[in-house]
Amino acid sequence: MKTIKGPALFLAQFMGDEAPFNSLDNICRWAAGLGYKGVQIPTWEDRLIDLQQAAESKAYCDDLKGKVAEHGLEITELASHLQGQLVAVHPAYDSLFDGFAPKAYHGNAKARTEWAVQQLKWSARASRNLGLDAHVTFSGALLWPFMYPWPQRPAGLVEMGFKELADRWRPILDVFEEQGVDACYELHPNEDIHDGDSFEQFLEALDSHPRACINYDPSHFILQCLDYVQFIDFYHERIKAFHVKDAEFNPTGKQGVYGGFQPWLKRAGRFRSLGDGQVDFSAIFSKLSEYDYDSWAVLEWECCIKSPEQGAREGAMFIEDHIIEVTKKAFDDFAGGAADDEQNRRVLGLV
């Protein structure tokens, strides 16, 4: 078994115009002061990284790592959730997702997708230049408007949707393969791959591409009433990244999984800061350790009640307390003894 690394912090939800959230140096100093050992960098945030330059220049990446290391931190992964979302967008969401891309691509879905694909390919190369083995992203969605089958979905629609999604991602994943980096999809509602079954459909359409992996985030599973611990039993070989995020699901006589169009504060299922929700992180850290997950435990803060500053302060210690220093010996080793084939045969009554 191996020991999980952490605590680390995903910086996306913390960036802002005021210090200490307005620059790489300031936010790293702040995160280190809270006890974090790593940071996950969103590639769409140009105050943190120039993605194209990172893809093209090892020297730039060495300098970036050095700036982070000055604060006693490591870069855990790069993240491209916004760009990954734009690899596949159903027309119903076109105008809503335009904001994820530069203004030059607004109103031009084809150009926007081409931009997103290039961003993902740069992310693979930048990850390698930074010495990273995993990258986190979203898959995008063509099928999500048809998630609930009413009216009935036309025969073959789902298969066609996953084939198209795979066709768009295969050239990207091939670049990740060339760079030796895993693309870790966050299985998330509004993405075509949002649970185990949909991930398997995606894998099948990709002929089980070796770089199609998972960013494990239990918060999205508890809101789907999915067994998020058993999920690790099924997919541990593909879990290469880990977002530590809490959630709770409290259905009422008026509202369940779909949330009644309510704001986050009034939804039956809502995200919470670590320790304030219902996710059994002791079971998760135990299960991941059992399966030799040895990469980072990264806090993603999303909470409808608690401030991000408090969530980050409490989250560092929460993760630290849940990381298991895995044992190197069996607890009953003291009672054992040397054995050989002859003794074992005697024990079994074979001689």
Phi, psi of 165 (to 5 degrees): -60, -45
Three-state SS string over 273-340 comes to: CCCCCCCCHHHHHHHHHHCCCCCEEEECCCCCCCCHHHHHHHHHHHHHHHCCCCCCCCCCHHHCCCCC
Residue 183: burial class (beta carbons within 10 Å; 0-12, 13-18, 19+): buried
pTM of the model: 0.95
- Beta-sheet strands, E only, within 25-120: 38-42, 74-80
End-to-end CA distance of the chain: 37
> How do the pLDDT tens digits run along the chain, 351 residues long?
899 999 999 999 999 999 999 999 999 999 999 999 999 999 999 999 999 999 999 999 999 999 999 999 999 999 999 999 999 999 999 999 999 999 999 999 999 999 999 999 999 999 999 999 999 999 999 999 999 999 999 999 999 999 999 999 999 999 999 999 999 999 999 999 999 999 999 999 999 999 999 999 999 999 999 999 999 999 999 999 999 999 999 999 999 999 999 999 999 999 999 999 999 999 999 999 999 999 999 999 999 999 999 999 999 999 999 999 998 877 767 667 677 888 888 888 988
| DSSP-based three-state secondary structure for 152 | coil
5-347 placed in CATH 3.20.20.150: yes
Residue pair 289/2 in contact (Cβ under 8 Å)? The answer is: yes
Whether the bond into 251 is cis, omega within 30 of 0: no
State the DSSP code for 42.
E
pLDDT of residue 350: 87
pLDDT of residue 343: 86
Phi, psi of 189 (to 5 degrees): -50, 145
Whole-number Å distance between alpha carbons of 290 and 326: 9
